[in-house]
């Protein structure tokens, strides 16, 4: 059984201010929840239709019906379970290795996809400007498919971070050097920009190396790649060796 107060708290977690206040976020769906349960993230409480999870202490799981799930879910069609987790503390940004930095990425699906890409390509830290969508937004959590537990996401003043890092900073620009011809190092910061406006001026001047992804269409003009597909190509280039 779900109390009115529980429903209010859980649906409140769709908003950033309540996530911050309660230091909690939620995830839905067997696959995503299971991946988070298997990770270092701390479960706060699990609401599930019966029969999907084993080994959860009795005081941390509540059996719910599909109709009850509908009252707390952020999805159009609830996916059998919803789990509350504690928001983990941000870990420090490492001084070496590859790091991805996002400048004002607003779309939850794009952030989720980029986290999944970081996980695939072994990039443990994602630095976000304060303007980026919140990583614990339910749509971001769902889009990461569980990768969220394996990538440390840090929000910071991006310009100050780039200024002080001392590492090479790579950004993609229309007039950048062909990424396929460059020697790309194993250490550095890869900056990705806003969906509509690309990399902002203040961040752009802090890019020490300007790259571009060549376009192969002949006559015609595709204006730009989506930021998540551009990220896929750039990370693949850095890692392929």
Binding site for a second copy (CB under 8 A): 109, 113, 116-117, 119-122, 145, 147, 150, 180, 213-218, 220, 222-223, 225-226, 228-233, 236-237, 239-241
Smallest distance, Å, CB 176 to a second copy? 15
Nearer Cβ to a second copy (7/177)? 177
Measured CA to CA, the distance from residue 206 to residue 158 in angstroms comes to 10
The least distance separating a second copy from the CB of residue 239, rounded to whole angstroms, comes to: 5
Q: Give the nearer residue to a second copy in terms of CB position, either 19 or 150.
A: 150
Q: Is 9 or 233 the residue whose CB approaches a second copy more closely? A: 233
> Angle 227-240/108-120 helices, nearest 10 degrees?
10
Q: How far is the CB of 103 from a second copy (least distance, A)?
A: 20
Q: Give which of 235, 4, 3, 12 is closest to 120, Cα–Cα.
A: 235
The least CB distance from residue 237 to a second copy, in Å, is 7
Q: Which of 19, 22, 6 is nearest to 62 (CA)?
A: 6
Tokens of 73: 């879910």
**CA–CA separation, 165 and 162 (whole Å):** 5
Instruction: In angstroms, give the least distance from the CB of 3 to a second copy.
Output: 32
Residue 129 or 144 with smaller CB distance to a second copy: 144
C-beta of 57 vs 217, nearer to a second copy = 217
Q: How far is the CB of 75 from a second copy (least distance, A)?
A: 15
CA 206 to CA 129: how far, in whole Å?
Answer: 14
Q: DSSP letter at 69?
A: H
Nearer to a second copy, 18 or 120 (CB): 120
Give the strands of the sheet with 43-48, arranged side by side.
Answer: 24-28, 81-86, 43-48, 61-63
Nearest to 72 by CA among 87, 82, 62, 59: 82
């Amino acid at each position: 059984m779900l109390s009115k107060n529980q429903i209010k708290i859980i649906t409140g977690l769709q908003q950033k201010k309540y996530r911050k206040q309660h230091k909690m976020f939620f995830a839905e769906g067997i696959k995503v929840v299971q991946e988070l349960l298997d990770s270092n993230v701390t479960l706060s409480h699990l609401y599930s239709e019966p029969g999907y999870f084993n080994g959860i202490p009795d005081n941390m799981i509540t059996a719910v019906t599909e109709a009850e799930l509908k009252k707390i879910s952020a999805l159009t069609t609830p996916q059998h379970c919803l789990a509350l987790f504690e928001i983990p503390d941000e870990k420090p940004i490492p001084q070496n290795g590859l790091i991805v930095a996002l400048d004002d990425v607003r779309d939850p699906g794009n952030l989720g996809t980029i986290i999944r890409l970081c996980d695939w390509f072994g990039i443990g830290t994602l630095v976000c400007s304060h303007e980026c969508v919140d990583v614990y937004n339910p749509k971001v959590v769902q889009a990461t498919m569980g990768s969220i537990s394996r990538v440390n996401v840090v929000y910071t003043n991006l310009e100050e971070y780039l200024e002080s890092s001392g590492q090479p900073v790579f950004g993609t620009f229309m007039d950048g050097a062909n990424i396929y011809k460059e020697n790309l190092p194993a250490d550095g910061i890869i900056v990705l920009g806003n969906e509509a406006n690309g990399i902002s001026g203040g961040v752009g001047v802090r890019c020490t190396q300007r790259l571009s992804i060549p376009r192969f269409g002949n006559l015609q003009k595709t204006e730009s790649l989506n930021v998540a597909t551009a990220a896929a190509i750039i990370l693949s280039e850095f890692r392929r060796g």
